[in-house]
Structure 1
């Protein structure tokens, strides 16, 4: 799966100062909304927060994959961040997270949504990939690693 079609350099951030789960979800909204015509950062935040209320998207090993569907979205968009310091995210292993990959899709993209989540989870379960992402020193390096480097 070509994740560079979903993830763009302007939605990739390295060593973000995210003090809480809520702040990280808000930042995802700020990054993703400009790429989703007709969608506000609050729409994105609310979609992600509603999904988190169903159960945490913290998959363990320091990784979270928040995701949501948006009626106003016209295409899927992803956001990738590493955090400067791990934060509590109610992950399944009760460990803090420091890698966040968010996926936002149009309301009617059910199958694509599930396939993309599975592909991302597989990449982020690879210890060499997560190690490389954590070692990235810039937004661009993080983007290149995830879309074409050691995480493919």
Structure 2
């Protein structure tokens, strides 16, 4: 599944002001909760934090792909947030992160989950795309960019 298929204009936020890993995860869950009505924001956060305990989802080059599983759900949801200032996210390259693509998937969709993570990582490895993402100043422009990039 491509990012463009599961991202909505309601799950994108540009130039967010946050100063910690916990705050960005909370913001991600706040946006995701608008799309996922069967699971509360606190449970979404618990899902992301549980995954982060296994190791940071900061993949390097200022990018993180936090992800969690959704019980009793059949739809995947993605959230894309850029921050005004890069924040410490314990990334594998020890660099701060300013681009976050979060993914929530049904807990019984393991293969789909991995394929979606792979397609997101591939998209974000494109230096031209990531540069354009960082330049976006409004949500609609960022949404349009992702739709065109896929």
TM-score (norm 2): 0.96
Unaligned runs of 5+ in 2: none
How many positions carry a matched residue from both structures? 150
Q: CA deviation at 1:38?
A: 1.1
Select between 130-139 and 2-11 the one with higher mean Cα deviation. Answer: 2-11
Moved over 2 A (4+): 1-5
Residues 1-152 of structure 1: matches in 2 within 5 Å? 1-148=1-148, 151-152=149-150
Higher relative contact order (CA 8 A, sep 6+): 2
**Structure 1 vs Structure 2 CA RMSD:** 1.0
Q: CA deviation at 1:5?
A: 2.2
Q: Distance in 2 between matches of 1:85 and 1:3?
A: 24
Q: Secondary structure at the match of 1:10?
A: helix
Q: Secondary structure at the match of 2:29?
A: helix
Q: CA deviation at 1:74?
A: 3.1
Q: Distance in 2 between matches of 1:5 and 1:121?
A: 15
Unaligned runs of 5+ in 1: none
CA deviations over 1:68-122 (Å, ceiling 9, x no partner): 1011333100000110000000000000000000000011110110000000001
